[in-house]
Amino acid sequence: MGAAPAYMAKLGLFEGYDTGSFYDEMFATSGHPRPQYFKLFQRLAAMAPEQFEERRKLADLSFLIQGITFTVYRDGRGTERLFPFDLIPRILPHSEWERIDRGLSQRVLALNLFLQDVYGKQRIFQDRRIPRSLVYSCPHFRREVIGVEVPRGIHTHICGIDLVRDSKTGEFCVLEDNVRTPSGISYVLENRIVMTRTFPDAFQDCEVLPVNHYTGELSRILRSLSPRGENEAQIVLLTPGIHNSAYFEHSFLAQQMGIELVEGRDLIVDGGVVYMKTIRGLTRVDVIYRRVDDEFLDSLTFRSDSILGVPGLMGAYRAGNVALANAVGNGVADDKAIYAYVPEFIRYYLGEEPVLRSVETYICAKPDELAYVLDHLSDLVVKTVGESGGYGMLIGPASERNRIAEFRERIQANPRNYIAQPVVPLSRVPSYDSGERCIGGRHVDLRPYCLYDGEKVTIVPGGLTRVALQRDSLVVNSSQGGGSKDTWVLRGEN
């Protein structure tokens, strides 16, 4: 390593920044930025701490006034919080993104084919690539939709696939699939807007690929599903309502696409057709982008105590009178035990090798793997198969002995409900720590959003970079103290 180029001699805000033993997205080694970060580094390093602080406050105020908040339920009241936004973006050079794009497209296609198969002919069981019992025992497997043909064969219209960069190899791998009702895209779009207002100068230096075509593409896909044809498509977004943690996103997407935002009580099923209640009477609904989970969709088919859905909706769905995006029953594909088989799906359905690696996974339903997991609990991450949002998780190395013991009992009582993975040392990005008033390395993941129209997969460049703002924390979920960053994919390499 030679001396740093003269223009980089000044570290400014990054004085004393330590990359630690992790892969740092910004610095190859302490004080030496990676090529994709050269230009931004120069700008930030030239900035006085007060200037940086000022821009940070500006960004926060902008989020607050726009009401870009999410709801937390920990205190039982449902309090609105700002989703913390960190000003230092995560930057990916084009070549790296290109590989991610290829890997995700492949994965989405395979997941969609798996769902078609498992709710259709079930060839995969006959060919013994996955045990039927493992699929049928998924908490989110829906027998009710076996044999239901979905419009244009699309199950996975919208997927959010979580990637992490493993510090040991520097390589991106898939951590989990979210193919039910993934959320977060609104933050991607709003983060970018706030970022261009806060750091307009930085965008002039770097050629950052745009993200704002997402809602247009989604709107086009939803329209194409209409049973009455595209010209008559009445599309709605079904939200659980204002108290849902992702409510901001629901209203944001409805507004961007110019579709009606509805709650269950706005809809009614009559004669196998879905209508919405307007001031001029009932209006037929063709496509529902639903952000309500399967089990709450229809109290006649699923949970009878649900007031969030529409009684009779599944009847209209089966009759083909209304399209739902995403399809019902997708939870079987993002079950954390099924996850271990996705590379096999890619080989089986597509005849290709997976581009992106998966994290090694121990399925507790298998006796030998269960034995290994129970022996190594303090080294592993244990996850509940049907949960998301960072709930129902044990991070072995960071947990107290009695918590590990508690998990041991839970796993033994119901092994099918758990999987375990080695701890992935997530890469880090320099982030502002408002407690310590300095910039430190914080762990990040990446959730790109994939749209599938039945032929090709479209992924807006980048996605949501979630960051664990607490020092040393590996949990990036917003419900657990995580924040987000803008993610830049460059047109070139730097």
Partner 1 sequence: MLSRIAESLFWLARYIERAEGTARILDVNYHMLLEQSQQSYHLRWEPLIVMAGEEDRFRKLYAEANGENVFEFLAFRPDNPSAIVQCISKARENARTIRDRISREMWEDVNGLFYLANSYIPRDEVAAGPHRFCDKIKFGAHRFHGVTDATLPHDEGWEFLRAGWALERAEMTARLVDVQYHNLLDGPPAAAALDNHQWMAVLRSVGAYEAYHRQYHPPIEPEKVAEMLILHPQHPHSIRFSAAEVQAALRAVSGSGRGSYANEAERLAGRLVERLSYDRIGEIFQQGLHGYLNDVLRMCGSIGGDIARTYFYYAVVA
Site for partner 1, rule CB under 8 A: 64-67, 241-242, 247, 251-252, 254-255, 260-263, 265-266, 268, 270, 276-280
Of 486, 70, 479, 79, which is closest to residue 250 (Cα–Cα)?
A: 70
CB closer to partner 1 out of 217 and 260: 260
Query: Minimum Å distance from CB 185 to partner 1?
Result: 15
CB closer to partner 1 out of 307 and 405: 307
- Beta carbons within 8 Å of 8's beta carbon, 6+ residues apart: 31, 32, 33, 41, 42, 45
CB closer to partner 1 out of 115 and 262: 262
Query: Minimum Å distance from CB 194 to partner 1?
Result: 14
CB closer to partner 1 out of 243 and 471: 243
- Beta carbons within 8 Å of 407's beta carbon, 6+ residues apart: 377, 382, 394, 399
Query: Minimum Å distance from CB 136 to partner 1?
Result: 35
What token pair was written down for 73?
């339920």
Q: Give the CA angle between residues 84, 157, 458 to the nearest 5°.
A: 75
CB closer to partner 1 out of 96 and 266: 266
H or E segment at 73?
none
Rg of the chain on CA atoms, in Å: 23
Query: Minimum Å distance from CB 184 to partner 1?
Result: 18
Query: Minimum Å distance from CB 285 to partner 1?
Result: 11
Contact 473, 443 (CB under 8 A): yes
CB closer to partner 1 out of 19 and 244: 244
Query: Minimum Å distance from CB 198 to partner 1?
Result: 17
Q: Render 394-447 in DSSP notation, one character per residue.
A: EEGGGS-HHHHHHHHHHHHH-GGGEEEEEPP-B-EEEEEETTTTEEEEEEEEEE
- Beta carbons within 8 Å of 64's beta carbon, 6+ residues apart: 82
CB closer to partner 1 out of 269 and 381: 269
Query: Minimum Å distance from CB 456 to partner 1?
Result: 29
Contact 127, 348 (CB under 8 A): yes
CB closer to partner 1 out of 46 and 242: 242
CB closer to partner 1 out of 285 and 457: 285
Query: Minimum Å distance from CB 253 to partner 1?
Result: 8
What token pair was written down for 259?
């579709």
Measured CA to CA in angstroms, residue 362 lies from 91, 172, 369 at distances of: 32, 20, 6
Contact 144, 297 (CB under 8 A): no
Query: Minimum Å distance from CB 286 to partner 1?
Result: 16
- Burial call 279-304: b when 16+ CB within 10 Å, e when fewer: eeeeeebbbbbbbbbbbbbbbebbee
CA distance 156 to 218: 12
